[in-house]
Amino acid sequence: MLHGRSEETARIDALLRQARAGRSGVLVLRGEAGIGKSALLGDAAARADDMRVLRTDGIESEAGFPFAGLHLLLGREIDRIDALPAPQVRALRVALGQEAGGDVDRYLVGLAVLTLLAELAEERPLLCLVDDAHWLDPASAQALLFAVRRLDAEPVAVIVAVRTDEVSPFDPAGLPELPVGPLGESAAAEVLAQRSEPVPGHLRPDLLTEAQGNPLALLELPVDGMPRRLPSSRYQRLHEVFAERVRRLPEATRRLLGVVADASSADASVVFPAAERLGCTRDDLAPAEQAQLVRLVDGRLVFRHPLVFSALRDTVEAGSRMAAHEALAAVYAARGDVCSYAWHRSAMATGPDEEAAAALETAARSGAARGSAVVSAMYERAAGLTADRARRGRRLTVAAEAAADTGQLDRAATLADQAADHVTDPVQLADIALVRATVLDSRDRPREAHRLLSDAAVAVAALDLSLAGHLLFRAGRAAAHAGDFDALDRTAARAEELGVPSAHLVTALSRAFAAQNALTDAAIAPLRVLVEETARCDRHLELLDIGWWHIMLADLDSADDVAARLAAVARQQGAAGLLASVLPLLARAQLMRGRHDDAEANATEGLRIAADTGQRRHAVYLTTVLAGLAAIRGEEQRCIELAAAPIARGVTPGNVHAAGALSLLDLGLGRYEAAFGRLSGMLGARHRGGAMASLPDLVEAAIRVDRREDGLAAARQYAEWAGRVRQPWTRAVALRCQALLDGNADGQYAQAVALHQEGGTPFERARTELLYGEWLRRARRISEARIVLHSALEIFDRLQAHPWSARARAELRAAGESVRAADPGAVQRLTPQEHQVVQLAARGLSNREIGAQLFLSPRTVGYHLYKAYPKLGVGSRSELASLVATRPDHSTRVGT
- Identify the pLDDT of residue 223: 67
- Identify the pLDDT of residue 549: 87
Angstrom CA distances, 774 to 338, 767, 768, 813, 814, stand at 77, 11, 10, 11, 9
718-755 exposure pattern, b = at least 16 Cβ within 10 A, e = fewer = bbebbebbebbbbbbbbbbbbbbbeeebeebbbbbbeb
Cβ pair 805, 796 in contact under 8 A: yes
As to burial, measured by CB atoms within 10 angstroms (0-12 exposed, 13-18 middle, 19+ buried), residue 82 is exposed
- Identify the pLDDT of residue 520: 67
Low-confidence ranges of the chain (pLDDT < 50): 226-232, 887-896
- Identify the pLDDT of residue 889: 41
Neighbours of 407 (CB within 10 A): 22
SS3 labels along 725-780: HCCHHHHHHHHHHHHHHCCCHHHHHHHHHHHHCCCCCHHHHHHHHHHHHHHHHHCC
List beta partners, residue 126.
Answer: 52, 156
Domains of the chain in start order, with CATH, are 6-179 (3.40.50.300), 245-335 (1.10.10), 425-500 (no CATH), 727-822 (1.25.40), 829-885 (1.10.10.10)
Look at residue 5 and give its three-state secondary structure: coil
* Tally of CA atoms within 13 A in the half-sphere of 213 that contains its CB: 13
122-140 exposure pattern, b = at least 16 Cβ within 10 A, e = fewer = eeebbbbbbbbbbbbbbbb
Neighbours of 854 (CB within 10 A): 22
Measure the CA–CA gap between 807 and 773, rounded to whole angstroms.
11
The angle subtended at Cα 846 by Cα 842 and Cα 848, nearest 5°, is: 135
